[in-house]
């Protein structure tokens, strides 16, 4: 019982801490031109804003997550036993990620799925960047307005189709008797159908395509504001095209690159549809494992613990990328 | 090391629009050459064609006698200083200056030495570690010059680099640019819409309008002996009186204007009956005291004192505006507002040119 009370108390404590921090900050660095929140919006509207944002943050974001955090530190219990003597705080769900609780063996299947998901997501992120950077550069710097508009439409309209339909249509294209294999065999490039789905080509294509826009737009935004004269100045000073990108464009677009890469990595590590429909028979995506704990074995505590293992890995990745790129978190969301 | 630049009948078109039409000239090695004209006259297009960002539609650009067709901006012996300078904001001053050397593969130790040398040249010693954003406008200007000079170009191209500076600094930088040019001895091609800049710095000036080079000459000849009505009206202030020529001989012509017949020099050998414009500079007009060659009657509408001289604005027949400037040394009395003042001038100071496009006010 007490642990679930935490769920309510922790956000309030955090809010109080931040309120004190912000109060200290304004006291130490007073800005006479700054008008107070209520001065700007009026009392009624100000209260409405706070109530709406507060409700949204607290009930739709913070509390569900916290509930899951608490859940992940509990054993799996039938509803009648909850709150009873068996309902204790425990690390067993996290431990089960490393050691299978029934047999006591190393939990290689889940650890492998985890590592696999992280590695494939890293590759997908790199692949996505390689595809999107030239595209974004073209749209932001070289393309004429008309062509850029057409390209944008061509990029955006396919996203009106939902993810599952998109994954299935890719599956149709890439299947053994799918269009691409039939064309390849018709032309005579190959005798037997290539197993695109089995060797994970389908997975890479599906994941890269699913998050194309997520990568293109931050890159586009970042590159678009680069003064064209800087590119020309570097060119004029003797730099060949790749040095211009290395020395001028990429350093400038760093916040956009960091933001695109972190988002694509997170989304791809957490994706469900593409790995399920396009992955090969040996592909076990970590999200599917989490999904199965929730919906197949109804083991919410273990599912929650696994989900947080993935979340921590993603957060660690974001932090590493930001550190590597020397970009602050604030810059990536500009 | 300097190099000559030859424009061999260069035409540049953007689709249907002709930005530069049949530009033919040769800029000598080590010369300070300016292209002067209003915005949209094609001068920047010429600069971009010389630097290699544009290829001529027709004709050829030759630098030191070598045809530049198909040679990119990174391979030409030119360096360009952009109107907004285009310094790299994420690099330090020293890295900016030596960027061109870095892409050429110079070692970092040698680059540091070179940076110090160039910082010395532009009078910013020891400031290499600063960020570009920490510099003032004039200092940024000098860093841009150093960055361009670092790659030892044979031709330096400058695209209105002083336009962002305030008046005092601009005048100072004019002298400094000229001094740097004489020190390094390379060819400077300077683009400007400011005739003051062109006149003070250049060895020769090409005046441009609507993609066409109107006149090439040194500052004095462009100012004193304009070839076309455009040059006369664009370079310096000028009073224009349009009309028909009633009388002409080898030296002078008389134009029948709103103010009556006015006489001026006739370098273009115009004949009676031709449409023409007579130009008189404000400083060549004199309030009449005794007898004079030609006179205009007018009354003073405004007098403005500008320190070194006084501008007097007058209205004549046909409500035409005339401006006159009176220097402090002349000993002439400045007429009062509202006074009726006949004006005179020496016919040798007026010039009669064929009618043509004039510079917009």
CATH number for position A144: 1.10.3720.10
Tens digit of pLDDT for each residue in B253-287?
999 888 788 889 999 888 898 999 999 998 888 87
> Residue B222 pLDDT more than 80?
yes
Q: Using CA of residue A236, residue A240, residue A245, residue A247, what is the dihedral sign? A: negative
> Residue B289 pLDDT more than 70?
no
pLDDT of residue B318: 58
Q: How far is A238 from chain B (nearest CA, A)?
A: 4
Query: Residue B110: which pLDDT band, with cuts at 50, 70 and 90?
Result: very high
Residue B237 φ/ψ region, left for φ over 0, alpha for ψ in the -120 to 50 degree band, beta for the rest: beta
Chain B neighbors of A252, CB-CB under 8 A: 90
**Complete DSSP assignment for A225-239:** TS-HHHHHHHHHTT-
* Both tokens assigned to B64: 């030191």
Q: Flag if B103 and A230 touch (Cβ within 8 Å).
A: no
pLDDT of residue B291: 55
What is the mean pLDDT of the segment spanning B216-241? 92
What is the mean pLDDT of the segment spanning A1-29? 77
On whether the CB atoms of residues A186 and A293 are closer than 8 A, the answer is: no
Beta bridge partners of B155: B78, B187
- Any idea which of A31-35, B103-107, B116-120 has the lowest mean pLDDT? A31-35
Q: Flag if A232 and B147 touch (Cβ within 8 Å).
A: no
Q: Using CA of residue B15, residue B21, residue B27, residue B33, what is the dihedral sign? A: negative
φ, ψ for residue A33, nearest 5 deg? -80, -15
Instruction: Please check whether residues A62 and A124 belong to one and the same domain.
Output: no
Higher pLDDT, A334 or A305: A305
In 3-state terms, what secondary structure has residue B256? strand
Given A25, A55, A72, which residue is the final one in a domain?
A: A72
pLDDT of residue B48: 94
* Both tokens assigned to B293: 């060659």
Instruction: Please check whether residues A215 and A278 belong to one and the same domain.
Output: yes
pLDDT of residue A71: 85
When divided into structural domains, chain A yields a total of 2
Higher pLDDT, B318 or A132: A132
Query: Residue A231: which pLDDT band, with cuts at 50, 70 and 90?
Result: very high
Neighbouring residues of B192: CB distance < 8 A, sequence distance ≥ 6: B34, B35, B36, B43, B160, B162, B163, B198
Report how far residue B332's alpha carbon sits from residue B310's, in angstroms, rounded to the nearest whole number: 11
> Residue A7 pLDDT more than 80?
no
Confirm whether A29 is domain-assigned. yes
pLDDT of residue B34: 95
On whether the CB atoms of residues A237 and B76 are closer than 8 A, the answer is: no
φ, ψ for residue A205, nearest 5 deg? -60, -50
Q: Flag if B74 and A232 touch (Cβ within 8 Å).
A: no
**Complete DSSP assignment for B300-318:** EEEEEE-SSEEEEEEEEGG
The residue ranges of every structural domain in chain B are 5-224, 229-354
On whether the CB atoms of residues B348 and B293 are closer than 8 A, the answer is: no
pLDDT of residue B265: 92
- Any idea which of A85-89, B213-217, B348-352 has the lowest mean pLDDT? A85-89
Given A50, A72, A94, which residue is the final one in a domain?
A: A72
Please state, rounded to an integer, the average pLDDT across all residues of chain B: 88
Confirm whether A212 is domain-assigned. yes
- Look at residues A225, A232, A228, A210 and name the one whose alpha carbon lies nearest to residue A255: A225
- Look at residues A49, A16, A78 and name the one whose alpha carbon lies nearest to residue A300: A78
> Residue B335 pLDDT more than 80?
no
Q: How far is A8 from chain B (nearest CA, A)?
A: 46
B229-354 and B5-224 share a CATH fold = no
Chain A neighbors of B80, CB-CB under 8 A: 232-233, 236
* Both tokens assigned to B307: 């320190």
What is the mean pLDDT of the segment spanning B226-252? 90
- Which residue from B72, B82, B102 is facing A233, i.e. has the nearest CB? B82
Q: How far is A263 from chain B (nearest CA, A)?
A: 25
- Mutating which of A229, A230, A233 best tests the B interface, going by the most B Cβ atoms within 10 A? A233
Q: Which residue of B has its CA nearest to A227?
A: B86
Report how far residue B211's alpha carbon sits from residue A112's, in angstroms, rounded to the nearest whole number: 69
- For residue A164, the tally of other CB atoms under 10 A from its CB is 13
What is the mean pLDDT of the segment spanning B323-342? 75
pLDDT of residue A4: 66
Instruction: Please check whether residues A117 and A260 belong to one and the same domain.
Output: yes
Report how far residue A210's alpha carbon sits from residue B115's, in angstroms, rounded to the nearest whole number: 48
pLDDT of residue A3: 65
Tens digit of pLDDT for each residue in B157-175?
999 988 878 888 888 889 8
Instruction: Please check whether residues A296 and A250 belong to one and the same domain.
Output: yes
* Both tokens assigned to B353: 């040119």
Q: Using CA of residue B346, residue B351, residue B355, residue B361, what is the dihedral sign? A: negative
What is the mean pLDDT of the segment spanning A179-190? 84
CATH number for the domain running over B229-354: 2.40.50.140
Neighbouring residues of B147: CB distance < 8 A, sequence distance ≥ 6: A237, B87, B96, B97, B99, B100
Instruction: Please check whether residues A24 and A170 belong to one and the same domain.
Output: no
pLDDT of residue A2: 62
- Tally DSSP H helices, then E strands, for chain B: 9, 20
Tens digit of pLDDT for each residue in A70-114?
888 888 887 777 777 777 888 888 988 888 888 888 888 899 999
Tens digit of pLDDT for each residue in B147-161?
999 999 999 999 998
Instruction: Please check whether residues A242 and A164 belong to one and the same domain.
Output: yes
> Residue A332 pLDDT more than 70?
no
- Tally DSSP H helices, then E strands, for chain A: 18, 0
Domain that holds residue A13: 2-72
Instruction: Please check whether residues A58 and A122 belong to one and the same domain.
Output: no
pTM (predicted TM-score)? 0.79
What DSSP designation does B37 have? -
Q: How far is B133 from chain A (nearest CA, A)?
A: 15
Q: Is A248 on the interface with B (CB under 8 A)?
A: yes
Tens digit of pLDDT for each residue in A61-79?
888 888 888 888 888 887 7
Element at B158 (helix H, strand E): strand B155-159
pLDDT above 90 coverage of chain B, percent:
56
pLDDT of residue B293: 55
Cα A17 from chain centre:
28
Report how far residue B226's alpha carbon sits from residue B49's, in angstroms, rounded to the nearest whole number: 27
pLDDT of residue B164: 78
pLDDT of residue B206: 96
Higher pLDDT, A317 or B97: B97
Residues of B with CB under 8 A from a CB of A: 51-53, 72-75, 78-80, 82-84, 86-88, 90, 99-100, 102-104, 147-148, 151
Tens digit of pLDDT for each residue in A19-60?
888 888 777 777 767 677 777 888 888 889 889 998 898 888
Query: Residue B326: which pLDDT band, with cuts at 50, 70 and 90?
Result: confident
pLDDT of residue B161: 87
> Residue A10 pLDDT more than 80?
no
Q: Which residue of B has its CA nearest to A242?
A: B103
CATH architecture of B5-224: 3-Layer(aba) Sandwich (3.40)
> Residue B292 pLDDT more than 60?
no
On whether the CB atoms of residues A169 and A277 are closer than 8 A, the answer is: no
What is the mean pLDDT of the segment spanning A185-198? 82
**Complete DSSP assignment for A11-69:** HHHHHHHHHHHHHHHHHHS--TTPPPHHHHH-HHHHHHHHHHHHHIIIIIIIHHHHHHH
- Which residue from B51, B84, B100 is facing A238, i.e. has the nearest CB? B100
Q: Which residue of A has its CA nearest to B100?
A: A237
- Mutating which of A237, A240, A253 best tests the B interface, going by the most B Cβ atoms within 10 A? A237
Query: Residue B319: which pLDDT band, with cuts at 50, 70 and 90?
Result: low
Confirm whether A98 is domain-assigned. no
Q: Flag if B51 and A236 touch (Cβ within 8 Å).
A: yes
On whether the CB atoms of residues B132 and B96 are closer than 8 A, the answer is: yes
Rounded to two decimals, the ipTM of the complex is: 0.83
Instruction: Please check whether residues A175 and A323 belong to one and the same domain.
Output: yes
> Residue A1 pLDDT more than 60?
no
SS3 content of chain A, % helix, strand, coil (to 5): 75, 0, 25
> Residue B330 pLDDT more than 70?
no
Q: Which of residues 214-233 of A touch B (CB under 8 A)?
A: 227, 229-230, 232-233
Chain A neighbors of B158, CB-CB under 8 A: none
Report how far residue B115's alpha carbon sits from residue B122's, in angstroms, rounded to the nearest whole number: 11
Q: CA distances (Å), B339 to each of A6, A275, B298, B326, in order? A: 93, 92, 9, 16
Q: Flag if B103 and A243 touch (Cβ within 8 Å).
A: yes
φ, ψ for residue A211, nearest 5 deg? -115, 20
Instruction: Please check whether residues A268 and A318 belong to one and the same domain.
Output: yes
What is the mean pLDDT of the segment spanning A109-127? 92
In terms of Cβ atoms closer than 10 Å to its own Cβ (0-12, 13-18, 19+), residue A201 is middle
Q: CA distances (Å), B360 to each of A64, B40, B227, B229, B318, in order? A: 69, 12, 18, 12, 20
Q: Flag if B88 and A230 touch (Cβ within 8 Å).
A: yes
On whether the CB atoms of residues A260 and A219 are closer than 8 A, the answer is: yes
Q: How far is B79 from chain A (nearest CA, A)?
A: 6
> Residue A121 pLDDT more than 80?
yes
Chain B neighbors of A247, CB-CB under 8 A: 88, 99, 102-103
Report how far residue A217's alpha carbon sits from residue A130's, in angstroms, rounded to the nearest whole number: 14
Given A44, A72, A100, which residue is the final one in a domain?
A: A72
pLDDT of residue A176: 81
Q: Which residue of B has its CA nearest to A251?
A: B90
- Mutating which of B15, B50, B74, B160 best tests the A interface, going by the most A Cβ atoms within 10 A? B74
Confirm whether A95 is domain-assigned. no
Instruction: Please check whether residues A319 and A205 belong to one and the same domain.
Output: yes
Chain B neighbors of A248, CB-CB under 8 A: 88
* Both tokens assigned to A49: 């804003």
* Both tokens assigned to B238: 């000028």
Instruction: Please check whether residues A21 and A149 belong to one and the same domain.
Output: no
- Mutating which of B100, B114, B159 best tests the A interface, going by the most A Cβ atoms within 10 A? B100
> Residue B294 pLDDT more than 70?
no
């Amino acid at each position: 019982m007490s642990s679930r009370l935490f769920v309510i108390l922790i956000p309030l404590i955090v809010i109080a801490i931040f309120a004190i921090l912000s109060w200290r900050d304004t006291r130490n660095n007073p800005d006479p031109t700054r008008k107070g929140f209520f001065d700007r919006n009026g009392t009624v509207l100000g209260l409405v804003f706070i109530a709406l944002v507060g409700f949204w943050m607290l009930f739709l974001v913070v509390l569900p997550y916290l509930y899951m955090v608490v859940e992940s530190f509990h054993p799996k219990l039938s509803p009648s036993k909850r709150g009873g003597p068996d309902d204790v705080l425990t690390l067993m769900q996290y431990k089960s990620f490393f050691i299978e609780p029934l047999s006591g063996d190393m939990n290689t299947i889940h650890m492998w799925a985890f590592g696999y998901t992280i590695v494939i997501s890293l590759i997908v992120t790199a692949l996505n960047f390689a595809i999107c950077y030239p595209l974004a550069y073209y749209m932001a710097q070289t393309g004429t307005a008309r062509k850029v508009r057409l390209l944008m439409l061509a990029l955006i309209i396919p996203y009106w189709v939902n993810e599952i339909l998109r994954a299935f249509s890719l599956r149709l294209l890439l299947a053994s008797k799918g269009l691409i294999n039939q064309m390849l065999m018709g032309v005579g490039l190959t005798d037997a159908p290539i197993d695109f789905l089995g060797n994970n080509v389908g997975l890479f294509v599906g994941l890269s395509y699913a998050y194309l826009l997520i990568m293109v737009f931050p890159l586009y935004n970042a590159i678009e504001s680069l003064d064209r004269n800087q590119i020309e100045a570097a060119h004029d000073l003797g730099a060949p095209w790749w040095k211009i990108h290395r020395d001028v464009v990429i350093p400038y677009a760093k916040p956009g690159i960091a933001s695109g890469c972190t988002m694509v990595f997170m989304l791809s590590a957490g994706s469900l549809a593409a790995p399920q429909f396009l992955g090969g028979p040996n592909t076990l995506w970590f999200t599917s494992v989490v999904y199965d704990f929730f919906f197949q074995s109804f083991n919410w505590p273990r599912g929650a613990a696994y989900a947080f293992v993935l979340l921590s890995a993603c957060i660690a990745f974001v932090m590493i990328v930001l550190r590597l790129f020397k970009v602050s978190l604030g810059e990536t969301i500009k | 090391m300097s190099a000559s630049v030859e424009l061999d009948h260069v035409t540049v078109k953007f689709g249907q629009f002709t930005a530069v039409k049949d530009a033919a000239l040769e800029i000598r090695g080590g010369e300070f050459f300016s292209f002067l004209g209003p915005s949209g006259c094609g001068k920047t297009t010429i600069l971009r064609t010389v630097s290699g960002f544009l290829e001529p539609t027709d004709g050829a650009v030759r630098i030191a006698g070598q045809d530049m067709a198909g040679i990119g901006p990174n391979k030409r012996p030119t360096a360009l200083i952009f109107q907004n300078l285009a310094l790299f904001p994420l690099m330090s001053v020293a890295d900016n200056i030596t960027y061109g050397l870095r892409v050429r593969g110079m070692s970092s130790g040698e680059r540091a030495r070179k940076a110090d040398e160039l910082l010395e040249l532009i009078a910013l010693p020891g400031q290499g570690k600063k960020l570009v954003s920490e510099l003032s406008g004039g200092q940024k200007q000098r860093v841009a010059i150093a960055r361009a000079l670092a790659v030892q170009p044979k031709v330096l191209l400058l695209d209105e680099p002083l336009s962002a500076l305030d008046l005092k600094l601009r005048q100072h930088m004019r002298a400094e640019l000229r001094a740097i040019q004489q020190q390094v001895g390379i060819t400077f091609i300077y683009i400007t819409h400011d005739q003051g800049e062109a006149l003070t710095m250049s060895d020769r000036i090409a005046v441009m309008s609507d993609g066409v080079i109107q006149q090439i000459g040194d500052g004095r000849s462009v100012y004193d002996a304009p070839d076309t009505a455009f040059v006369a009206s664009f370079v310096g202030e000028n009073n224009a009186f349009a009309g028909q020529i009633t009388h002409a001989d080898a030296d002078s012509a008389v134009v029948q204007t709103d103010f009556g017949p006015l006489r001026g020099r006739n370098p273009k050998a115009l004949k009676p009956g031709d449409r023409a414009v007579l130009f008189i500079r404000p400083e060549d007009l004199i309030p009449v005291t005794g007898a004079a060659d030609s006179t205009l009657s007018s009354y003073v509408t405004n007098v403005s004192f500008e320190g070194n001289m006084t501008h007097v604005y007058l209205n004549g027949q046909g409500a035409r505006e005339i401006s006159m400037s009176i220097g402090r040394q002349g000993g002439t009395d400045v007429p009062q507002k509202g006074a009726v003042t006949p004006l005179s001038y020496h016919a040798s100071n007026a010039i009669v040119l064929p009618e043509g496009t004039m510079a917009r006010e």
